[in-house]
Structure 1
Amino acid sequence: MEEPYIKSKSSKKKKKKAQTVDETRDCLTELPDPLLHLILSYLTMKEVIRASVLAKRWRYIWLSITCLKFSPMKKQKYKEVGFINRTLLLHKGPKIQKFDITFDYNGAHAHQVDSWIHFAIARDVNELYLDFPCKRRHRYELPTFIFSCKSLTVLTLKNCIINFPTNFNLISLKILSLEGIYLIGGAINDLISSSPILEYLSLTNCESRTDLNLFIFKASMKTLKIHESYTWNSDSKLDVYAPFVVSFELVTSLSRKNYVIKELRSLESASFDCDGMPGLKFNEDDRRRTIVQILDEVCHVKELRLCSCYILALSSGEGQDFITFAVTCLRIKTGLTKWELTGIDYMLKHSPNIETLIISIDKNEGKKEPNFLNLLGNLKTVKLYNFMSDLDVHTSTKTEELLEKLQNEMNFLRFLLKNSKVLEKLIITTCKGVDFGKSESKKLKLMFLLTQELLSFPRASRDAQISFS
């Protein structure tokens, strides 16, 4: 009678031992090398080397990692340089997929930095990210041999000096991003024309004391981004001719004397913002004309993103009645001021195909009931971002007072619901910066009152659904 009991006890011991073995297995160490390399590629080299002590198998795997990322270290410069030198010296991998280095350059160690870049290029690097934040007089000068790297597909250069060579050999380059680079004459065009499969070009705060002329006639070029918060020469001109570009983004203070945007016939998406520029004033006729001319060149796009300056330029309605927009998705950054509402009025009147309207509230001044024509026959989706962005819950003690401060936005929502006959979704996203502190009850009461008021608005579409997020 005791035999079954003995067998049962023995089987329990075996089962418990098997469970213990399973629990002690290290699943990470059993992963294949390519997957381990992928996991480690999200870490800096300092973090990768620290992680090598987690498992015996990991001890030397970092020596063949294909993605190397170096970030600034909180130690003396010569120690940081020594760490990078030793890491690259010990690396055994024959191929580098991605080489990413951010190094606070102080005018010294130029030869060391050159050797790091040469290390990556000698191993047929595909993606190269170089950032050298420094004082203006200590900028690092990039070696020209980088422009002969046939394996490069992605090249990002920040805060350095480039002396463009006469010949380029970037035959595999698809993505080029330049930030804080001094551009000389037509060198950038030479670089573009010598990159046969270039698809993406981004220029951010690149210095140019002369005109910046971008003549891009390559069929492969699909995305062009230009960001400039200042211009060294206010008499300079920006010329853009890009017949094959599909997506165009221009962020500028409009401080140049002239802007010529032409031949964007393949354009499908355009975005315009005025970085660092105060609100457009009614007496700034030159800027108004510039904005209207730019919008006239992109009126055929399907997706359009505009900041308040561009909306204000349309508010007068003088001289631009001939512009009709083909846009189906319109994104606007606005304060819903009485002046901007006039510009929005113009956009909606002259955009008969609009289906999606996305509004991000920048700042809110004044109150005015919208009085747009009933031309929203195709509008299906409205998204309102930064709702309650101007709300100061600490200066108003009563919920009703807070609700009163939101009437400008509420009037606009009333108009949309009343005049959008095929509206399907109204999505309202509240601003994350609104701090109710410990007044959680005030927040709940305010949201309740807002919801009640929204539900009381007349709707042209019975299918319209309202949601907060």
Structure 2
Amino acid sequence: MEDFGSESFSEDRISSLPDCLLHHILSLLDTKEAVCTGILSSRWKNLWKSSLILNFHHQHYSSNTNSSNDDDDINEEQEEGDSEIESKEDDNDSENEEGDYKIGNENFFYESENEEEAEEERNFISFVKRSLALHNSPVIQKFRLSFKYSDRRFGFYVNDWILFAIERNVKELSLDFLHSSPHDYEVPSWLFNCHKLVSLKLKECSIQTPKSVSFSSLTTLFISDTEFDECMIQDILVGCPLLEELVLVRCYFEQDYELFICSSSPDPSKMMLKRLTIEKCDNSGLNVEAPKLEIMKISGSLMGKYSFNNLVSLKEAQLDFDSIEKDNNFGFPSLSVAEFHNATVLKLCSVCIQTEEESQMLHGFNEREYWDKLANQFTCLTCTLKTIEITGYIGQETELSDDSGNNIVTKVLQKIDNKIKFVRFLLRNAKVLEKMTIHIDKPHFVEEEEWPELAQKVAQDVEGKIKLSSGIPVELLFM
């Protein structure tokens, strides 16, 4: 029988792994957790200090982080680390703040009315400052910062932390300020001239158009919950010659603005953009011209004119609008999908069809002309489109809320009649279609207990009118 207490069984195999693998393990942790790995063995003791990835998330720095439920050894390791960091800070201060990183004023803290919240802020800021003072790698691959920016004076620290990362040629920078309004962090203009950045993520902050934008290496840009002026996006596109992915989520403009995603160069082919996501932004219209664009996902409210041009490389398009907004300045929204002819995956919501239909009705609706025009727009049906996904099939309008019983059933079936015509149009014209999926959500005006019976009637009605004679599998998904 083998001796389970032998040295071979007590061997620490993880600690014997090469530094590159141990650093990868640390990269999956918040920096505070990475510091605590020092209790494992002397091999781990200072490994975090040379980590290429630094993660700082506020949830790890609450006032009860070192609660009685925490491991005593971890608390001890944290205390030892704090002592070492404090010693390093004292050395830096004695050098009159000369060196690569300026520590700042320890007493410069925001006094919150919520003492627990204030304590969390102090814990977080102190730990980040001290951790950066100890970090000794000359290069950083990723720097992620996530915390509640509750006072403008915090910008003093954040700017220092960003500079720390930039001075070490950071490749990926992520800044999330967690519902900061009304005290938004103002992104410094010098950040927009960082030539080493490959990926930049900005969330819950404020962006003022800088004098110049020069992200010569940037390939991915994610901006969320941010307000900026109308010139900013175009300036970014001009200053990011290698940009391949642009994501805009809940972004707000200073005034009604038609968003332009296109090249300012006479030669549009110089634009490298391959993936575009625009989600719930307040733009009044959209103009996209990107010959290398492969994937496009757009959602939110449909308002103004949506124009798509020169999308010769498009493989997948998703349009998922939750409502149509008519505006006095822009009139009824317009939308054309004629440029999607190369797409192999096309996901459309019912609003897209409603927009085309209602715009025709404004000038006198002719059903035959309508379907002929639609066939010309959906040229992708003839040779490339293999997958179709339709969402929002019934819609969520509340005008039926006062009805009950069979009256609701009748009106729901009438409501989807035109959409059934559109499904039949797709099945009839799609030459290489392999699968169609229709998402049917429960309308708000239908009670939960009524939905199963109504869903069954809707399914029977849809299947009966579609008459699946084409042989193409059509999947109905009831939510």
Report the CA distance shift for 1:188/1:335 in structure 2 as closer, same or farther (over 3 A): closer
Count how many residue pairs are aligned between Structure 1 and Structure 2. Answer: 373
Select 1:333's aligned residue among 391, 408, 431: 391
1:83 deviates by: 0.9
Matched residue, 2:344: 302
Select 1:150's aligned residue among 178, 184, 195: 195
- Answer yes or no: is the 8 Å Cα contact 1:179–1:206 preserved in 2: yes
Matched residue, 2:291: 243
> 1:421-464, CA deviations, whole angstroms, 9 ceiling, x for partnerless residues?
365xx778786xxxxxxxxxxxxxxxxxxxxxxxxxxxxxxxxx
Matched residue, 1:448: none
Report the CA distance shift for 1:20/1:358 in structure 2 as closer, same or farther (over 3 A): farther
Q: Superposed, which structure 2 residues align to 1:63-462 within 5 Å?
A: 63-72=49-58, 73-75=61-63, 76=119, 77-106=121-150, 107-208=152-253, 209=255, 210-216=257-263, 217=268, 218-231=270-283, 236-255=284-303, 257-275=304-322, 277=323, 287=332, 290-291=334-335, 294-313=336-355, 317=367, 319-324=370-375, 325=378, 326=380, 327-335=385-393, 337-363=416-442, 392=448, 395=449, 405-409=455-459, 412=462, 418-421=468-471
Q: Which amino acid in 2 is paired with 1:329?
A: T
2:16 counterpart of 1:30: yes
3-state SS of paired residue (1:30): coil
- Answer yes or no: is the 8 Å Cα contact 2:386–2:434 preserved in 1: yes
3-state SS of paired residue (2:459): helix
Larger mean Cα displacement after TM superposition, 259-268 or 120-129: 259-268
Q: Which amino acid in 2 is paired with 1:359?
A: I
1:261 deviates by: 2.6
Report the CA distance shift for 1:185/1:229 in structure 2 as closer, same or farther (over 3 A): closer
Distance 1:213 1:427 in 2: 36
- Answer yes or no: is the 8 Å Cα contact 2:427–2:470 preserved in 1: no
1:314 deviates by: 5.8
1:119 deviates by: 0.7
1:411 deviates by: 5.4
Segments of structure 2 that go 5 or more residues without pairing to the other structure are 64-118, 359-366, 395-415
1:194 deviates by: 2.2
Distance 2:141 2:235 in 1: 26
Distance 1:267 1:329 in 2: 14
2:44 counterpart of 1:58: yes
3-state SS of paired residue (1:20): coil
Distance 2:221 2:281 in 1: 20
Q: Which amino acid in 1 is paired with 2:276?
A: L
1:339 deviates by: 4.1
Distance 2:338 2:306 in 1: 13
- Answer yes or no: is the 8 Å Cα contact 1:335–1:365 preserved in 2: no
Larger mean Cα displacement after TM superposition, 191-200 or 316-325: 316-325
- Answer yes or no: is the 8 Å Cα contact 2:241–2:271 preserved in 1: no
Distance 2:459 2:428 in 1: 20
3-state SS of paired residue (1:146): helix
Select 1:40's aligned residue among 26, 45, 51: 26
Q: Which amino acid in 2 is paired with 1:419?
A: S
Larger mean Cα displacement after TM superposition, 160-169 or 29-38: 160-169
Larger mean Cα displacement after TM superposition, 136-145 or 79-88: 136-145
1:258 deviates by: 2.8
Question: How large is the Cα RMSD of the aligned pairs?
Answer: 3.1
Q: Which amino acid in 1 is paired with 2:387?
A: C
Q: Which amino acid in 1 is paired with 2:389?
A: R
> 1:182-240, CA deviations, whole angstroms, 9 ceiling, x for partnerless residues?
23233322221222221111112222223322223334211112223535xxxx44322
Distance 2:6 2:174 in 1: 46
Report the CA distance shift for 1:274/1:64 in structure 2 as closer, same or farther (over 3 A): same
- Answer yes or no: is the 8 Å Cα contact 1:97–1:126 preserved in 2: yes
Distance 2:442 2:356 in 1: 19
1:56 deviates by: 2.8
Q: Which amino acid in 1 is paired with 2:261?
A: L
| Normalised TM-score (structure 1) | 0.71
Distance 1:174 1:20 in 2: 53
Distance 2:259 2:244 in 1: 20
Matched residue, 1:441: none
1:362 deviates by: 2.2
- Answer yes or no: is the 8 Å Cα contact 1:105–1:138 preserved in 2: yes
Segments of structure 1 that go 5 or more residues without pairing to the other structure are 1-11, 367-389, 432-469
> 1:384-411, CA deviations, whole angstroms, 9 ceiling, x for partnerless residues?
xxxxxx995xx48xxxx95775242355
Report the CA distance shift for 1:52/1:338 in structure 2 as closer, same or farther (over 3 A): farther
Distance 1:290 1:402 in 2: 35
Larger mean Cα displacement after TM superposition, 36-45 or 162-171: 162-171
- Answer yes or no: is the 8 Å Cα contact 1:329–1:356 preserved in 2: yes
3-state SS of paired residue (1:331): strand
- Answer yes or no: is the 8 Å Cα contact 1:315–1:343 preserved in 2: no
1:333 deviates by: 1.2
3-state SS of paired residue (2:373): coil
Q: Which amino acid in 2 is paired with 1:56?
A: S
Distance 1:22 1:119 in 2: 43
Query: Which structure's relative contact order is higher, taking Cα pairs within 8 Å and 6+ residues apart?
Result: 2
Report the CA distance shift for 1:90/1:114 in structure 2 as closer, same or farther (over 3 A): same
Distance 2:424 2:209 in 1: 48
Between the aligned residues of both structures, percent identity stands at 28
Report the CA distance shift for 1:142/1:334 in structure 2 as closer, same or farther (over 3 A): closer
> 1:282-331, CA deviations, whole angstroms, 9 ceiling, x for partnerless residues?
xxx965x613xx22332442211112222444668563522333222111
- Answer yes or no: is the 8 Å Cα contact 1:315–1:342 preserved in 2: no
